[in-house]
Structure 1
Amino acid sequence: MSVHRLTLGDVLAEHRRSRPQGTAVVDGDVRLTYPELDERVNRLAAALAADGVGPGDRVLWLGQNSFRVLELLLAAGRLGAICCPANWRQTADELAHILDDLTPKIVVWEESEAVEKARGQVSPDARWVGSGDEYEAYLAAGTGEPPVEVPDDAPVLALYTAAFDGRPNAALLSHAALIAHNMSLLHMRQMEDGFAFLACGPMFHVGTMMFTLATFQIGGKVVVTPAYEPAEVCRLIEAERCTQAFLFGPMIDGLVEANRDRAHDLSSLRFVSHSPEWDEMITVDDSPWCRSGMGGYGQTEVAGMLTFLGLGMGGAGHAGRPSPLVHVRILDADGAEVPAGEVGEICARGHSLFSGYWNRPELNEAKTRGGWHHTGDLGRREPDGTITFIGPRLRMIKSANENIYPAEVERALKSHPAVADAAVIGVPDDRFGQSPKAIVVLQDGRDATAEEIIEHVRGEIASYKKPRGVAFVDQIPKRGYTPDYDALDAAHGGGAYPGM
């Protein structure tokens, strides 16, 4: 046994001893102290082990936010296994792809039409456990101690990334990577004893998960709600004296509207300044994270944030400086570092980086060439050493804090029988920053309305990725084999891309 090892399971075991009365998780009527959470995690790990779950095996969660996501993650971690909370908003086809790709041993699920359809499309090898009473009975049946000594570099969390090439990839994050990121984030956010985080954003999203785990790391309280609902979020902030929540612009506006009558005291929330009405309701926080507007650069593959604007406020680069636990280089196509002021690919290595993608050996080799993780994003090192994020090498649309990649939407468009060719651009949107717009060429002799095209896409991929507008054209301009997105932007009002 290494005296240098530290896993998420070790963190929980220490909290059991150090915080015997501390509340770990709140979810509806469920309130668990750290000792109670540890006991349940041990039982769940034993139950999973009895079903043959061991090092490297996958456990999949298909459902909305729940305290059970954290339990499954910690229990899988005690076995050297990997937990994946999947995007429950996806279509049956998208969920079937995840089931087929991840080949989980255990699936814990909430009933939905999409999940039922996806289950019917794949091999029935996995054991399926319902998320309610069946889960509780399954956990209660577990006995004994987890039998595995787990290395801290073992992957424990899998999060599917947005699809650059039409299908998503599962980024694998180890115990060590998550703990390293936790430490960086809790330093930047200046988390203190008694910190309480409201997980009202999706737990399949690294933005929610990184704060959930940093709060867990410091022995704070994680408050879980199934999904964002403004009135309920206001109630929970007051009832649980939440310090932080997963919120961005439109969500904050929704809370301001829901609490116009000041029925709820939101002053415990120490958050970023947003508007006069909002600032009067909360306590505007002065930590580097909040003073910088929660700025920086990150992605799932780095466990959340690679750089923090809080380490470079007032600098020339709007992404700040790297986390203290990583190195960042701006490299050209040959892997050489470019001079300050020149654009290249943002590349990194360090403690919080992922372990590669599940079942993608060729992609992993390409992503880690030269001993650096190649993010796929363009950036620039400014003369003062700060970093500017320019944008993805493959164009990306950012809508309401969700990443949408044209290739995925184009694949769905082209599956429509009347569509001969298609491209997708992002157009400015006052509310969401950007929204997708489809440029479509119809098959000779075929007809389709914009509404029919949009409805078709909604049936193929998650609804938030669907185009909000369609332009019909005779042909798509090309650069080689790919659409000429610059020409399409100019012709159809594209713009407002991240970093531009």
Structure 2
Amino acid sequence: MIHSLSLSDVLADHARSRPEVTAVVDGELRLTYPELDERVTRLAAALERLGVSAGDRVLWLGQNAYAVLELLLACSRLGAICCPANWRQSADELRFVLSDLTPAAVFWERSETTEQLREESWVQAGEEYERLIAEAPARDFPQVADTEPVLALYTAAFAGRPSAALLSNAALVAHATSLLVVRQMEPGFTFLNNGPLFHVGTMMFCLATLQIGGTNVFTPAFDPEEVCQLVDAERVTQAFLFGGMIDAVAKANAGGKYDLSSLRFVAHSAEWDDMITVDDSPWCRSRMGGYGQTEVGGMLTFLGLAEGGAGFAGRPSPLAQVRILAPDGGEVPVGETGEICARGKTLFSGYFARPDLNAEKTAYGWHHTGDLGRREPDGTITFIGPKLRMIKSGAENVYPAEVERALKSHPAVADAAVIGVPDPDWHQAVKAVVALKPGAEATADELVEHVRGVLAAYKRPRHVTFVDAVPKRGFTPDYDALDAAHGGGNYPGT
């Protein structure tokens, strides 16, 4: 396998070529690349002792931590698959993940939700996790083919339940390489993992930082004051920040309490720009733009490869191809709208245990993204919007079918439809249009709390409107009529 290069191989090479570089920082924990390599080897052996073998799934139920990267790298070394689950999900949602993914090992952090679900065999983060590594032997592992899946990220809940997109070692290495070129990452690059690692937007930068031999700093979740402290203390180059998060960090550093000059980031406001070093890489000059999704490893197109281009999604990654296809699989003419389809080195390996969906998504030899786009005369790509409806609330994707399923599980609800309405802070807010059963009663607050009980809090409706009947187009809600009647709008791509 002389042509293979896995995440495990990348780590092993850094351990030899960067023996003094700090690979990981998490609180008081600091690991050089050789130290991280040894721990990953021991963790892989520990996973074997737990019964994990090639192709098995390992689930992380917790917030950001160094253990997420270690588990991913150990799975790469073993040929297994690591899945960092969305810790913000409800107990019902996590039960689905457990039953769907059937993990061979589960690692968990204590929370109200995990306390409801935990089993005796699960390994708790902290002392138990560290003991597991310390007691395992450090031994050699045979090389694993880089075509094997190593990362599972749940996404695409269009049908009411999410699916786990499987990304191979080769795809992740390829995407990391394309990203670090566009971002112009250099040795010494330090990334603050303050965004969720179950989200490809954070994970792709974590792995690009690993690829270049930089330093990954971990913090459980976004906290503006802590971001300031860590940027100052660790001389962070980039963090997972956008919009309101940038404003919050600037506010936390009012008066210049912390030195944020190491942060090479996109221009945002006069106050922000004075605190940081405005970066001149194509990624930051283009305001971190492009088009992407989990299934393509993160970014499929980059604005940084098409500065001044007509299409506001930019041009494709150098390691991927993009076509705009009609329903019959033919390429549509320039200037016409079709589905954004792709193939190449960064593409995922399919969804876990979804053979029918995988066949549908790879029709005509291309991955069908489910999004509409247009090729402009200058060759750049414009993203139009999802073929199926999606709501964008902050950085989170909310799929109406998922929230509708939760609403319909309430005993008083006869039918429900969900739309997105413009929101000044979150871009969109979730609005539920609900028809109650004859003689049944339910308040808006009651329905909101019901949804909160079965889905992550960010998916709950912020507004509820009661109607006699939900308008239909065939068997599905007439979303255009609902938008017109109830103020829907601001959807991605519009």
Question: TM class, shorter-chain normalised?
Answer: over 0.9
> For residues 117-149 of structure 1, what are the alpha-carbon distances to aligned partners after superposition, in whole Å with 9 as ceiling and x for unaligned?
2347xxx8xx31010100011111111424433
**Amino acid in the other structure paired with 1:154:** E
Report the AA paired with residue 76 of structure 1. C
Matched, 1:68 2:62: no
**Counterpart in the other structure of 2:374:** 380
1:445 positional shift: 0.7
CA shift digits 1:43-69 (9 cap, x unpaired): 001111122211101111000000000
Normalised by the length of structure 2, the TM-score is 0.99
Distance 2:419 2:127 in 1: 45
Counterpart for residue 315 of structure 2: 321
CA contact (8 A) 1:399 1:434 kept: yes
Measured against aligned partners, the alpha-carbon deviations of 1:372-414 in whole angstroms (never above 9, x if no partner) come to 0011111111111100111111111011011111000101111
**Residue of structure 2 equivalent to 1:407:** 401
Structure 1 Cα separation of the partners of residues 117 and 459 of structure 2: 19
1:306 aligns with 2:305: no
Partners in 2 of 1:171 and 1:145 — Cα distance?
31
8 A contact 1:367–1:373 mirrored in 2 = yes
1:411-441 per-position Cα deviation (integer Å, ceiling 9, x unaligned): 1111111111100000001111111100011
Aligned to 1:473: 467
Amino acid at match of 1:95: L
Q: For residues 418-429 of structure 1, what are the structure 2 equivalents within 5 Å?
A: 418-429=412-423
Q: Which residue of 1 aligns with 2:349?
A: 355
1:173 to 2:172 alignment: no
* CA distance in 2: counterparts of 1:257 and 1:488, whole angstroms: 38
Distance of 2:328 and 2:225 partners within structure 1 = 52
Q: Displacement, 1:115? A: 1.6
The answer for unaligned runs of 5 or more in structure 1 is: none
Structure-2 residue corresponding to 1:54: 53
Kept in 2: contact 1:80–1:148 (CA 8 A): no
Does 283-292 or 45-54 show the bigger shift?
45-54
2:456 maps to a residue whose letter is A
Structure 1 partner of 2:365: 371
Q: 1:153 Cα deviation (Å)?
A: 0.3
Mapped to 2, the partners of 1:252 and 1:461 lie a distance apart of: 27
Partners of 2:38 and 2:138 within 8 A in 1 = no
Letter in 2 for 1:247: L
Q: State the partner residue of 1:130.
A: 124
Q: 1 CA distance for matches of 2:150 and 2:69?
A: 12
SS in 2 for 1:421: strand
Q: How does 1:260-279 map to 2 (within 5 A)?
A: 260-279=254-273
Which residue is 1:4 aligned to? 3
> C-alpha distance in 1, partners of 2:252/2:141?
49
Residue identity opposite 2:299 in structure 1: M
Please give the alpha-carbon distance, in whole angstroms, between the structure 2 residues aligned to 1:74 and 1:146.
14
Q: Deviations over 1:296-337 (max 9, x none)?
A: 000000000000011112111100000000010000111110
Task: Please list every run of 5 or more consecutive structure 2 residues that lacks an aligned counterpart in the other structure.
Answer: none
Q: What are the equivalent positions in structure 2 for 1:57-206 lying under 5 Å apart? A: 57-119=56-118, 127-206=121-200
Q: Secondary structure at the match of 2:220?
A: coil
SS class of match (1:228): coil
Contact 1:81 1:156 in 2 (8 A): yes
Q: Which residue of 2 aligns with 1:434?
A: 428
- Secondary structure class of the residue paired with 2:271: helix
Deviations 1:44-99 (A, max 9, x none): 01111122211101111000000000000000110100000000110000001001
| Residue in structure 2 matching 1:464, options 447, 455, 458 | 458
Counterpart in the other structure of 2:32: 33
TM-score (norm 1): 0.98
Runs of 4+ in 1 over 3 A off after TM superposition: none
Q: Are residues 1:286 and 2:285 paired?
A: no
How far apart are the structure 2 equivalents of 1:98 and 1:193? 37
Supply the AA of the counterpart residue of 1:54: S
CA distance in structure 2 between the aligned counterparts of 1:313 and 1:169, rounded to whole angstroms: 34
> Which of 231, 242, 258 in structure 1 is aligned with 2:236?
242
The question of 1:337 aligning with 2:337 is answered no
Contact 1:73 1:82 survives alignment (8 Å)? yes
CA distance in 1, matches of 2:117, 2:462: 26
Q: Which of these residues, 389, 394, 412, is aligned with residue 395 of structure 1?
A: 389
Amino acid at match of 2:24: V
> What does the per-residue CA deviation read over 1:12-71, in whole Å, with 9 as the maximum and x for residues that have no partner?
111001111100000001000000000100100111112221110111100000000000
